[in-house]
Amino acid sequence: MRDCVLAVDGGNTKTLALVATLDGQIRGYGRAGCGDIYHAPPGAEAREHEPAALQEIERAVETALKQAGSTPANLKAAIFNLAGADWPEDFALLEAAMRARGYGEQLLIQNDALGVLHAACIGSPTNSGVAVICGTGAATGARGPDGRTWHSSHWQDSVQGASQLGHRVLTAVFHAELGITPPTTLRERVLTYFGASSVEEVLHRLTARLPQQTRPIGGLAAALLDEAEAGDATARHLVTEHGSALGDFANVAARRVGLEGLPFPLVLAGGVLRHPSPLLAEAIIARVHSRSPEAQPTRPRFEPVVGVLFSALELAGARVDEQLIARLQPTLPPASFFDTLG
């Protein structure tokens, strides 16, 4: 097998791995579960978060290598774009674990907020910009023209993604039911989502002492954006407030890497931001433009793991240009590979 590079994008929902030759052709891909060393669910084989996450990362990588007909010895470079790479000890643990498995002559661990930048900023000599990711969770990352990076990590625990939005929908509906706040069309959406006949039934299911079958609360984020777009005042307030809060972290990121006030790419990514309603994105952009009027909102051209692959190719000495991209595109995995619900 020819020399290859490895790209891994590990989050709370899934871990994706790509193996490609140095000319940019993807030869293998693999998918596994949560690769976050803080949150990977313990199981029968790994009873703690850290080994459970490492096991999922390894499973995705080995699947990709097997499909490519390759081995770790063929990997000239590898980049791991991982949720949970937050503190120095996290980077040390992850790097040691990946080196122990022989994953790459050159190896780089980075926080998952950074991978999307290369997926959106192709052609930029520095891949500089600010990325706002709002999916199941949320994260903010930035890279400056001089190579400085910053990611929001646990600073942003108070402003997250779909799961937090779902909880805020429930709070709004519960408060409206009690007459604390005005009625909202979110009420009917919540009842439909849970297949319940009353708000009290929903509350009971979610808080009962004995576990009851329910649905992921994060699934309510789509309903929130639907109702906000339709004009419900409560929903619009929740969406614009959340977008402004995400924009605050984008402004911090820009300032930390020397981009504030400059015409940098503002990359908006993640499942929640793919919803047809523009309201959340507009609120983020408005807050960022209050500090950096020339920031340029953009969407990633490729999935984050493909951006990580571009970085791995550059680390191995390859030039990422339109010719390489033309070779890569026919070899991309099917769309279902990238699907969060996959």
The answer to whether 1 touches 74, Cβ cutoff 8 Å, is yes
Least confident of 122-126, 138-142, 238-242: 122-126
pLDDT value, residue 39: 87
The answer to whether 280 touches 273, Cβ cutoff 8 Å, is yes
pLDDT value, residue 296: 96
pLDDT value, residue 127: 80
pLDDT value, residue 342: 34
Task: Flag whether pLDDT at 44 surpasses 60.
Answer: no
Least confident of 11-15, 27-31, 333-337: 11-15
Please report which confidence band the pLDDT of residue 122 belongs to, taking 50, 70 and 90 as the band edges.
Answer: confident
Report percent pLDDT > 90 for the chain.
86
pLDDT value, residue 2: 86
Task: Flag whether pLDDT at 201 surpasses 60.
Answer: yes
pTM as predicted: 0.90
Report percent pLDDT > 70 for the chain.
96
Task: Flag whether pLDDT at 42 surpasses 90.
Answer: no
Task: Flag whether pLDDT at 341 surpasses 70.
Answer: no
What is the rounded radius of gyration, in angstroms, for the C-alpha atoms of the chain? 21
Query: Averaged over 211-221, what is the pLDDT?
Result: 91
The Cα diameter of the chain in Å comes to 67
Query: Averaged over 275-293, what is the pLDDT?
Result: 98
Chain mean pLDDT for the chain: 94
Q: In what order do the strands lie in the sheet with 129-134?
A: 149-151, 138-143, 129-134, 265-269, 296-298
pLDDT value, residue 126: 72
Please report which confidence band the pLDDT of residue 212 belongs to, taking 50, 70 and 90 as the band edges.
Answer: confident
Domains of the chain in sequence order: 4-122+301-338 (3.30.420.40), 129-300 (3.30.420.40)
Distance CA 214, CA 218 (A): 12
- Tens of pLDDT along 237-255? 999 999 999 999 999 999 9
Query: Averaged over 234-238, what is the pLDDT?
Result: 99
pLDDT value, residue 123: 65
Dig out the tokens for 336 from the structure: 């279902």
Q: Of 257 and 211, which is predicted with more confidence? A: 257
Please report which confidence band the pLDDT of residue 162 belongs to, taking 50, 70 and 90 as the band edges.
Answer: very high
pLDDT value, residue 222: 97
Distance CA 51, CA 43 (A): 10
CA angle in degrees (0–180, nearest 5) for 290-296-301: 140
Residue 97 Cα distances to 7, 90, 91, 265, angstroms: 16, 11, 10, 34
Distance CA 133, CA 338 (A): 15
The answer to whether 3 touches 74, Cβ cutoff 8 Å, is yes
Alpha carbon 115 to its chain centroid, in Å, reads 9
Residue with tokens 């979610």: 206
Task: Flag whether pLDDT at 1 surpasses 80.
Answer: no
